[in-house]
Amino acid sequence: MNRMNLNAVGIGIIVVVAIVGLFASAYIVDERQQVIITQFGRPVGDAIMEPGIYFKIPIVQKANYFEKRVLEWDGDPNEVPTKDKRFVWVDTYARWRIDNPLLYFQRVRDEIGAQSRLDDILDGGTRSAIANHNLDEVIRSTSRDLQASGNAPPSDVPVAAEQDALFGRDKVTRSIIEIASKQTRELGIELLDVRFKRINYVEEVQQKIYERMITERIRIADKFRSEGEGEAARIRGDKERELRIIESEAYRDAQRIMGAADAKATKIYADAYNPSEESREFYDFVQTLETYKEVLTRDDWLILSTSSDFFKYLNSPTGQ
């Protein structure tokens, strides 16, 4: 009975050890990962790229997991001189992935080591690319010709009339990738993209740029102000001219009306001083009666000739 119990315990132990060994030897690779198997710290076999369940020797071998997805590198801002000796702060970022897991493991071991090496490579590549280009080529998004405009904000770079830029910012980043990719390939890393997060002037240059912007804005404001004053003078001139035209036309109409009125008044006066025969006889009759009223009284005696004008209306109502 004791012998049977010992056999059962032994079998149980073996089963447990087998299960533990099975679990210790099995490892899972999902679609986001790739694995390098090392034995006593040295790589064994090729990289495992396909997802699934795999087995290794427990304890002796170790599964080293690496990302298959695109990874990010975010650099620190650096003060970098351009080809035309202008200092700018450049902040860059990049996207990369592990292209050769075995070479990657041999050269950088893990992502921390890779980030450290990328710091050196990409910072150096950025400095080299910017130092080989003028500032306008670094800050421009395309290589099209710059067009000078009176309303455009000033820049600290020459316009296209003075210097033709052959590069834009995109081509500068392409040159950084070309420079850095030669070194990253030796680390098993594929550099996918490099971009400028921010490009800014150093503070001393910023102050100069602000001063130039203020001067430019003042110049533009003066230009608009002078144009406004010229337009105002033109409007005032037009107003004075129209006012003189209106006043002259009004004076002409007033003189014409006054002339017509004077002519009419003259005609009325002429008609009054040159009455018709009937009007003159009536006027003489009225005036004679008024004279009779003022001259003759009850006590007056008049000796008149029958042919006297004064007597004619007393002798006959018609004066005949």
Query: Count of domains in the chain?
Result: 4
* Side-chain half-sphere exposure of 198, counting CA atoms within 13 A: 11
Q: Quick one: 119 and 91 in the same domain?
A: yes
Domain that holds residue 9: 2-67
First to last CA, the chain: 195
Strands 52-55, 78-81: parallel, antiparallel or unpaired by DSSP? unpaired
Q: Quick one: 194 and 79 in the same domain?
A: yes
Q: Quick one: 63 and 75 in the same domain?
A: no
Q: Quick one: 63 and 84 in the same domain?
A: no
The pLDDT profile of the chain, 320 residues, written as one tens digit per residue, is: 466 666 666 666 776 665 666 677 889 999 999 999 999 889 998 899 999 999 988 888 999 999 999 999 999 888 898 888 888 889 999 999 999 999 999 999 899 999 999 999 999 999 999 988 888 888 877 655 555 444 444 444 444 333 444 567 888 899 899 989 999 999 999 999 999 988 888 777 777 778 888 999 999 999 999 999 999 999 999 999 999 999 999 999 998 898 888 888 877 777 666 656 666 676 677 777 777 777 777 777 777 666 666 666 666 655 55
- What pLDDT is attached to residue 314? 63
Note whether residue 168 is domain-resident.
yes
Q: Quick one: 78 and 190 in the same domain?
A: yes
- Neighbouring-strand partners of residue 91: 198
d(CA 97, CA 95): 7
Q: Quick one: 192 and 99 in the same domain?
A: yes
Q: Over the Cα atoms of the chain, what is R_g?
A: 59
pTM: 0.57
Q: Quick one: 197 and 289 in the same domain?
A: no
Letter string b/e over residues 201-236, b meaning 16 or more CB atoms within 10 A of that residue's CB: beeebeeeeeeeeeebeeeeeeeeeeeeeeeeeeee
- What pLDDT is attached to residue 170? 85
287 sits in the region (left: phi over 0; alpha: psi -120 to 50; else beta) called: alpha
Angle at 223 between CA 222 and CA 228, to 5 degrees: 95
Note whether residue 251 is domain-resident.
yes
The CATH number that applies at residue 144 is 3.30.479.30
Note whether residue 161 is domain-resident.
yes
Where a domain ends, among 146, 166, 201? 201
Note whether residue 209 is domain-resident.
no
Where a domain ends, among 67, 85, 112? 67
- What pLDDT is attached to residue 235? 93
- What pLDDT is attached to residue 156? 45
Note whether residue 83 is domain-resident.
yes
Q: Quick one: 239 and 177 in the same domain?
A: no
114 sits in the region (left: phi over 0; alpha: psi -120 to 50; else beta) called: alpha
- What pLDDT is attached to residue 97? 96
Where a domain ends, among 47, 67, 87? 67
The answer to whether residues 61 and 39 touch, using CB atoms and an 8 Å cutoff, is yes
Q: Quick one: 304 and 251 in the same domain?
A: no
d(CA 244, CA 70): 81
Note whether residue 216 is domain-resident.
no
- What pLDDT is attached to residue 41? 86
Give me the phi and psi of 48, to 5 degrees please.
-95, 115
One DSSP character per residue, the chain reads: -HHHHHHHHHHHHHHHHHHHHHHHHEEEE-TTEEEEEEETTEEEEEEE-S-EEEE--TTTEEEEEEE-S-EEEEPPPEEEE-TTS-EEEEEEEEEEEES-HHHHHHHT-SHHHHHHHHHHHHHHHHHHHHHTS-HHHHH-SS-SPP---TTSPP-SS--TTT------HHHHHHHHHHHHHHHHGGGTEEEEEEEEEEEEE-HHHHHHHHHHHHHHHHHHHHHHHHHHHHHHHHHHHHHHHHHHHHHHHHHHHHHHHHHHHHHHHHHHHHHHHS--HHHHHHHHHHHHHHHHHHH--TT------TT-TTTHHHH-TT--
Q: Quick one: 110 and 177 in the same domain?
A: yes
Note whether residue 172 is domain-resident.
yes
49 sits in the region (left: phi over 0; alpha: psi -120 to 50; else beta) called: alpha
Q: Quick one: 58 and 78 in the same domain?
A: no
Q: Cα–Cα distances in Å, from 294 out to 177, 298, 300? A: 134, 12, 12
- What pLDDT is attached to residue 113? 93
Note whether residue 212 is domain-resident.
no
Q: Quick one: 28 and 62 in the same domain?
A: yes
